[in-house]
C-alpha cells in the first residue's frame, strides 16, 4: 500500500522520521486535476503492494498547497517520480528521477529501489 500526503506539514514530518537512511522512498508527485497522475496511480499502488519491504516506502504527494516542498524537490512537471533517501540532518539524496506517466520507467525505478534496499541490509 502506498502512503498519501496532501498536507505539507505531515509530509515534512514523515521526511523527518525517514532520516539516516531508514527508508528508501519512491515519491510520486501529482495533483487531483492531473489526468496522467490519476492514470498511473493504480499501477503505483499495485507496485507498492507487490514490492513490500520494511525499508521501501511508496509515497503519493498531492502538490496542491505544497510550494516549498515542490521547490525543494524541483518538481516542474506532473507526475514526477523520485527515488530518494535522507541522511542525518535531513539531507536528501535523489538516486533516480523521471517525469511523465511512463509505466516502464516506473517499473524500472521500483526494481532499482528493491535492489538498493536489499543491498543495504
Residue extents of the structural domains in the chain: 3-119
The per-residue pLDDT for range 59-82, each reduced to its tens digit, is 999 999 898 899 999 999 999 999
Residues 85-111 have pLDDT tens digits of 887 777 788 889 999 999 999 999 999
Considering the domain delimited by 3-119, tell me its CATH architecture.
3-Layer(aba) Sandwich (3.40)
pLDDT tens-place string over residues 7-44: 999 998 888 887 666 788 999 999 999 999 999 999 99
Q: Which of 62, 43, 63, 61 is nearest to 110 (CA)?
A: 43
Taking the CA atoms of 52, 27, 29 and 107 in sequence, report the sign of the dihedral they define: negative
pLDDT at 89: 73
Cβ–Cβ contacts within 10 Å for residue 90, how many? 12
Instruction: Look up 55 and say whether it is catalytic.
Output: no
The verdict on pTM exceeding 0.85 is: yes
pLDDT of 1 over the 80 cut: no
Catalytic residue among 24, 25, 26, 34: 34
pLDDT of residue 119: 80
Catalytic residue among 37, 59, 83, 109, which?
A: 37
Task: Cell numbers for 82, please give them.
Answer: 523520485
Does the annotation mark 104 as catalytic? Answer: no
Question: What residues contact residue 30 under an 8 Å CB cut-off, 6+ apart?
Answer: 37, 38, 41, 60, 61, 62, 63, 78, 79
Amino acid at each position: 500500500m502506498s502512503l498519501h500526503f496532501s498536507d505539507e506539514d505531515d509530509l515534512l514530518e514523515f521526511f523527518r522520521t525517514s532520516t539516516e537512511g531508514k527508508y528508501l522512498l519512491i515519491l510520486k508527485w501529482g495533483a487531483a486535476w492531473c489526468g496522467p497522475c490519476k492514470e498511473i496511480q493504480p499501477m503505483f499502488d499495485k507496485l507498492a503492494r507487490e514490492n513490500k519491504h520494511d525499508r521501501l516506502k511508496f509515497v503519493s504527494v498531492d502538490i496542491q498547497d505544497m510550494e516549498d516542498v515542490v521547490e525543494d524537490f524541483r518538481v516542474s512537471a506532473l507526475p514526477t517520480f523520485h527515488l530518494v533517501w535522507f541522511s542525518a540532518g535531513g539531507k536528501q539524496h535523489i538516486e533516480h528521477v523521471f517525469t511523465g506517466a511512463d509505466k516502464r520507467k516506473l517499473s524500472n525505478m521500483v526494481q532499482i529501489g528493491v535492489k538498493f534496499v536489499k543491498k543495504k541490509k
